[in-house]
Amino acid sequence: MSTFVLVPGACHGAWCFDDLADALRARGHRAHAYTLTGVAERAHLAHAGVNLDTHIADMCAAVAALPDDELVLVGHSYGGMVITAVADRMPDRVDAAVYLDALVPRDGESCWDLVNDAERQWYLGVDDTGYGVPALPFFDDRASSHPLASLLQRITLTGDLSSLRRRDYVYALRWPGESPLRRSYERVRDDPAWTVHELDGAHNLMRDNPDDLVRILLDAAAH
C-alpha cells in the first residue's frame, strides 16, 4: 500500500483529483488531495500576503500530519513548485515525486521565470483585488483566482531531489499553442534520473488521461 499526496495547480482545489484519488483508493492505496490557501474553496483566505511560501507551509504541515512515510508527492502544473519544496524540506518523508505537466524549479527560480510569455500575460491580468490571477473561462466552475505572489516568488531549495528514489514527469502533448511547461519538460527529458512520459492529452491530464495516470502513479510507487 502506498500513500499519494496530491497538490493541484493554479486556481484549482483538491476536487480536481477526485476521480484519480478514487481510482487509487479502489486499488488499495491511500490518496490525500489538498486545496492550497487562498484558492478554490479556501478563496476566503486570500490576501496580498499569500505566496509560494504559504503554500509550501500548507503542504509541509499536511505531510507532517500524515502517519505514513515514503510518500509519493504528485503535483499538477503550479503544484510542481510546491512538491519540489516539500521534497527538499522533508526528504525523510518522501519516496517519489510525480510531476503532472508541472513546473520543475531550481533554487532561485519562480513560476514566472519558468513559463512562456503567453502565460505571463495571464498572470498580469489581475482581478479587481490587485493580487489575484483570475481563473480562465474554461476552468471548472469551482476554480477561483490564484494568489499572484505565489507565481512571482522565487523558490528556496537546498538540494536537487537526488534523495528521491524516483522522479517522474508526465508531459501533455495537446496544448492549443506552445506549452508553458515545455521548459520544465526539456529540463528533465534526457536526464537519466527521471522517468519521462508523453501523453496525448490536454493540460488537464486528470480528465483526459485518467487510466494512464493511474498506471504511471502505481508504477512510480512500486519498489
Annotated active-site residue in 77, 110, 145, 184: 77
Question: What are the structural domains of the chain?
Answer: 3-221 (3.40.50.1820)
Q: Is 77 marked active-site? A: yes
* Whole-number pLDDT of residue 50: 98
For residue 97, how many other CB atoms are within 10 A of its CB? 27
For residue 148, how many other CB atoms are within 10 A of its CB? 21
Burial zone of 190 (CB within 10 Å; 0-12 exposed, 13-18 middle, 19+ buried): exposed
Distance from chain centroid for Cα 165:
19
Burial zone of 18 (CB within 10 Å; 0-12 exposed, 13-18 middle, 19+ buried): middle
pTM of the model: 0.97
For residue 192, how many other CB atoms are within 10 A of its CB? 5
**pLDDT tens string for the chain (223 positions)?**
999 999 999 999 999 999 999 999 999 999 999 999 999 999 999 999 999 999 999 999 999 999 988 999 999 999 999 999 999 999 999 999 999 999 999 999 999 999 999 999 999 999 999 999 999 999 999 999 999 999 999 999 999 899 999 999 999 999 999 999 999 999 999 999 999 999 999 999 999 999 999 999 999 999 8
